[in-house]
Structure 1
């Protein structure tokens, strides 16, 4: 081995050892996805690390539970369950669990029903339905809280490795298809074992592999298969109605928080207003977070997310969202999801929406 190669090797080893002391992002290996296992889940017990950028901004660590989700409680049968469904906002690796939407709802409803979260970064409405159906086969799902975030409808008809997506036939009928994922290969295991590799791929976003080969990236074509997304709204709502009575489903719509912070008009796609209106007409509980975040902004100047570095909610954002959900349940007179629980009681608003656990 030449001197240059030896020097480079020593530098790499030094960087690897140094970065093992730092919160380099990553750590989760996903299980295979196919018709028999139609939802993407991590390996149970996997330790994950979140941080952003070269400076390891907003570091968090956690461990996946027995079902492969980011929730410190193992999921067990034997009591009614509320399923909290969504993408990375519900996966919630950017906040401590105690600060998350699902933890706050769990505190508001304790001791019954249980609140289990089913969130995955990059998930879309087709995935939400697939996760709900998957959960119903395993647990007594009494109700669901579904978070709709920016880009969800655009992604709902786009095939993604390991993900579900909507397909529409010529006659207008729709179905949910799944794009298989073979599971982690040797390269995935090698990357996962190296802090240096995870830092390059996740923190610095340096990926030598073509994007179409990366798990969770959009496959060709890169744009949604159906430019017309109007049909996805009724398809999604119909699938939710087929899974649970509408009165047991709460739909939570995220807001254009950048516009709210800037005092500008929000830039919402027309499908958002249509889904809100149709969902209300169908009997779903609807929580529009736009007024909730505006009211928070009017009270004080604290941010509800990590913008401009990261658009995800911070602890305050999760707090505001949870309070809006609990307020909507109270406005209905009682929490209808909990009908299967003997004598369900709300916790006090302060218990349901406690202050963030620390500065973010």
Structure 2
């Protein structure tokens, strides 16, 4: 028995050594989220490796700056040059591309002589958390204008009814309507220790293994297998989910001027397209009426009617793809690739909000 345990221990040690050599994904080491640190940030001043999948189909080396955001540029609250805050989820975190190739990395270099571009985002953040980031950028840095990246799962996941992961802000139903609440996060000792192991990180991050995923190996859920996804979110558009999501959009737009502290003329929304369906007319037609299709149109219409500038990336992606054959996501990951980030940055630079802030 002792020899068996010893053999297992030696095997684990050998695997740990091997995975320390390979580009296993590092943990970004999220900081606690509470009243003193109200938004998700990561352990500051670190260089990390981000990789995708068991075969490392994507490998990037990222820098976490002095404020705990993925940017090569440090942030300073004392600077008074014009500041554009770019807010979003994993599309702003942009782990799949080098910091300099992210949309905010590109814009930061281009605006260098006129002002600053700071990014605020973490994977999993929905519209409701964007409000908290806007408030943070306003209070900490006195941001002058904002760009919000809006993607497929931003709507329903704004409601604690649909998602309740710690570290984010959500809308919760109360007698007075939807109320913005913060769900605090405190990393456990076990989690902090396990993140030091390359073997455990490989299993958790690269292999995506969890107790839930292990459980699904032993049964065949036909309902899950048949689910279609559009815009990286479930395509099914049941009435309750749509109704709840529209309420979240309404509350977000109502609360945004308060949290951002700027006028509507200083806010730009960039709405993702239905990728990869938009590359093929018949596939795009099949995606019509999906959850993301309905919510994209609802959000764009309401935001424009409310007086905000909105860029719909769908026709822009389609035009560039038809002209050059470019695709804007990775084969192994649905997030924007370098071409996607570059085109979004180009589009933002041409916007009224950007030109108004950084006009020479």
Is this contact kept in 2: 1:27–1:46, CA < 8 A? no
Q: Partner of 1:233 in structure 2?
A: 249
Q: Partner of 2:229 in structure 1?
A: none
The count of corresponding residues between Structure 1 and Structure 2 is 323
Is this contact kept in 2: 1:30–1:41, CA < 8 A? yes
Please tell me the root mean square deviation across aligned C-alpha atoms, in Å.
Answer: 2.2
Q: Partner of 2:207 in structure 1?
A: 204
Q: What are the within-5 Å matches in structure 2 for residues 106-145 of structure 1?
A: 106-145=108-147
Deviation string, structure 1 residues 110-146 (Cα, Å, up to 9, x no partner): 2222000001000011111101101211112000110
Structure with higher helix content:
2
Is this contact kept in 2: 1:29–1:46, CA < 8 A? no
Q: Partner of 1:335 in structure 2?
A: 355
1:336 and 1:152 map into 2 onto residues whose CA distance is 27
Is this contact kept in 1: 2:156–2:244, CA < 8 A? no
Is this contact kept in 2: 1:29–1:188, CA < 8 A? no
Does 2:114 align with 1:90?
Answer: no
1:245 and 1:271 map into 2 onto residues whose CA distance is 24
1:229 aligned counterpart, secondary structure:
helix
Q: Partner of 2:194 in structure 1?
A: 191
Is this contact kept in 2: 1:28–1:192, CA < 8 A? no
Q: Partner of 1:164 in structure 2?
A: 169
Does 2:6 align with 1:6?
Answer: yes
1:317 and 1:35 map into 2 onto residues whose CA distance is 36
* Structure 1 pair 311–209 and aligned structure 2 pair: CA distance change class (3 A): closer
Q: Partner of 2:322 in structure 1?
A: 298
Deviation string, structure 1 residues 239-266 (Cα, Å, up to 9, x no partner): 2222221111110000101111233224
Mark the runs of 5 or more structure 1 residues left unpaired by the alignment: 212-222, 339-343, 346-360
1:116 aligned counterpart, secondary structure:
strand
2:169 and 2:241 map into 1 onto residues whose CA distance is 13
What's the CA shift for 1:31? 1.5
2:183 and 2:349 map into 1 onto residues whose CA distance is 36
1:273 aligned counterpart, secondary structure:
helix
1:310 aligned counterpart, secondary structure:
coil
2:243 and 2:193 map into 1 onto residues whose CA distance is 38
Q: Partner of 2:264 in structure 1?
A: 246
1:226 and 1:295 map into 2 onto residues whose CA distance is 29
Is this contact kept in 1: 2:41–2:68, CA < 8 A? yes
Q: Partner of 2:235 in structure 1?
A: none
1:230 aligned counterpart, secondary structure:
helix
Q: Partner of 2:232 in structure 1?
A: none
Q: Partner of 1:74 in structure 2?
A: 74
1:287 aligned counterpart, secondary structure:
strand
Is this contact kept in 2: 1:292–1:321, CA < 8 A? no
Is this contact kept in 1: 2:31–2:41, CA < 8 A? yes
1:46 and 1:29 map into 2 onto residues whose CA distance is 10
TM-score where L is the length of structure 1: 0.84
Structure 1 runs of 4+ off > 3 angstroms? 208-211, 223-227, 266-269
Is this contact kept in 2: 1:255–1:290, CA < 8 A? yes
What's the CA shift for 1:301? 2.2
TM-score where L is the length of structure 2: 0.84
Deviation string, structure 1 residues 38-71 (Cα, Å, up to 9, x no partner): 2111111244321111101110122311111111
Is this contact kept in 1: 2:272–2:312, CA < 8 A? yes
1:147 and 1:225 map into 2 onto residues whose CA distance is 21
What's the CA shift for 1:154? 1.2
Q: Partner of 1:282 in structure 2?
A: 306
What's the CA shift for 1:227? 5.7
Is this contact kept in 2: 1:247–1:336, CA < 8 A? no
Q: Partner of 1:319 in structure 2?
A: 342
Mark the runs of 5 or more structure 2 residues left unpaired by the alignment: 215-237
Q: Partner of 1:216 in structure 2?
A: none
2:119 aligned counterpart, secondary structure:
strand
